[in-house]
């Protein structure tokens, strides 16, 4: 299999973090990682559009040559193929709680941060848009505050005592915030503690560049 990615880009990053979490716990996973340079517009070249007509990353190329083009589908596929250690939850209730936190990290943190970065200093050259930036800025505190509150019981990871896909998604989101100069409210001290600790993990050290 091959994973097409670009460093910093948050959706490929959360997939790569999940893979590294599994590998660092002993899973043997052989997937070639192939960069597609978003800064050069390589996602719009015919060879990438043949993999994914939407021209986005990540793309997972399967051994039969087929492609998975949505990060959620890729994460689930990798979890099912390499179930040990489980990173999407260990039983139905745990899975629901883990996925809920992951989606809060995705929809209420990662996406507003990405919108804000693109509306202020887009690495893809999108024009500045103060209205969009204002909207994204306004929606961010609720998601960040919710996750800070979840972490306030001293848990090591977003969903509890073990790392999950929720950590991978949140770490990918906060990396883009650092890249784009988005300030995360420093009074969110539980989030800050989690972020510092998570970045010390081998998975994060392998994948994150900021
Ligand atoms: N819903 C898609 C979103 C993918 C996406 O927007 N990827 C960004 C990088 S994080 C991308 O490739 N952007 C390139 C572009 O918009 O040209 C997923 O979850 O995989």
Last residue of one domain, picked from the residues 55, 81, 107? 81
- Give the per-residue pLDDT at 135: 98
How does pLDDT run across 121-139, given as a tens digit for each residue? Answer: 999 999 999 999 999 999 9
Do 46 and 144 lie in a common domain? no
- Give the per-residue pLDDT at 163: 98
The radius of gyration of the chain's CA atoms, rounded to the nearest angstrom, is 17
Q: Place 51 in a pLDDT band, splitting at 50, 70 and 90.
A: very high
- Give the per-residue pLDDT at 136: 97
> Which residue owns the Cα nearest ligand 1 atom 14?
56
User: Cα torsion at 123, 127, 131, 132 (round to 10°)?
Assistant: -40
- Give the per-residue pLDDT at 105: 99
Do 105 and 185 lie in a common domain? yes
- Give the per-residue pLDDT at 32: 98
- Give the per-residue pLDDT at 82: 98
Burial readout 63-77 (b: 16 or more C-beta within 10 A, e: otherwise)? eeeeebbebbebbee
User: Which CATH number is 160's domain given?
Assistant: 1.20.1050.10
Q: Place 197 in a pLDDT band, splitting at 50, 70 and 90.
A: very high
> Which residue owns the Cα nearest ligand 1 atom 12?
56
With respect to residue 193, please indicate whether it lies within any of the assigned structural domains.
yes
Last residue of one domain, picked from the residues 59, 81, 103? 81
> Which residue owns the Cα nearest ligand 1 atom 6?
56
The boundaries of the domain holding residue 148 are 92-207
pLDDT, averaged across the chain: 98
Mutate to test the pocket of ligand 1, among 7, 11, 112, 114 (most ligand atoms within 8 A of CB): 11
Do 49 and 123 lie in a common domain? no
With respect to residue 195, please indicate whether it lies within any of the assigned structural domains.
yes
With respect to residue 87, please indicate whether it lies within any of the assigned structural domains.
no
> Which residue owns the Cα nearest ligand 1 atom 11?
56
Do 99 and 153 lie in a common domain? yes
Q: Is the CB of 170 under 6 A from ligand 1?
A: no
3-state SS, one letter per residue, for 164-209? CHHHHHHHHHHHHHHHHCCCCCCCCHHHHHHHHHHCCCHHHHHHCC
How does pLDDT run across 145-154, given as a tens digit for each residue? Answer: 999 999 999 9
- Give the per-residue pLDDT at 179: 97
CA 130–ligand 1 middle distance (angstroms): 22
Q: Is the CB of 169 under 6 A from ligand 1?
A: no
Mutate to test the pocket of ligand 1, among 34, 35, 57, 124 (most ligand atoms within 8 A of CB): 57
How does pLDDT run across 59-106, given as a tens digit for each residue? Answer: 999 999 999 999 999 999 999 999 999 999 999 999 999 999 999 999
Do 199 and 169 lie in a common domain? yes
Atom of ligand 1 nearest to the CA of 6: 9
Burial readout 105-117 (b: 16 or more C-beta within 10 A, e: otherwise)? bbebbbbbbbbbb
With respect to residue 106, please indicate whether it lies within any of the assigned structural domains.
yes
Mutate to test the pocket of ligand 1, among 16, 35, 56, 122 (most ligand atoms within 8 A of CB): 56
């Amino acid at each position: 299999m091959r994973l097409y990615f670009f460093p910093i880009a948050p959706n490929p990053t959360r997939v790569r973090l999940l893979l590294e979490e599994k590998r660092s716990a002993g899973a043997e996973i052989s997937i070639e990682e192939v960069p597609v340079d978003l800064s050069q517009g390589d996602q719009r070249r015919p060879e990438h559009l043949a993999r994914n007509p939407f021209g986005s990353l990540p793309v997972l190329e399967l051994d039969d040559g087929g492609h998975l083009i949505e990060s959620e589908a890729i994460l689930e596929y990798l979890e099912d193929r390499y179930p040990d250690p489980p990173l999407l939850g260990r039983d139905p209730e745990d899975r629901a709680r883990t996925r809920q936190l992951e989606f809060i990290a995705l929809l209420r943190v990662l996406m507003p941060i990405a919108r804000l970065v693109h509306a202020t200093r887009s690495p893809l050259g999108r024009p500045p848009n103060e209205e969009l930036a204002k909207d994204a800025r306004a929606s961010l505190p609720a998601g960040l505050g919710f996750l800070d509150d979840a972490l306030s019981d001293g848990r090591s990871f977003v969903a509890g005592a073990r790392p999950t896909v929720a950590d991978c998604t949140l770490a990918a989101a906060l990396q883009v915030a650092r890249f784009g100069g988005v300030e995360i409210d420093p009074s969110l001290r539980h989030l800050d503690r989690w972020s510092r600790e998570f970045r010390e993990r081998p998975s994060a050290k392998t994948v994150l560049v900021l």
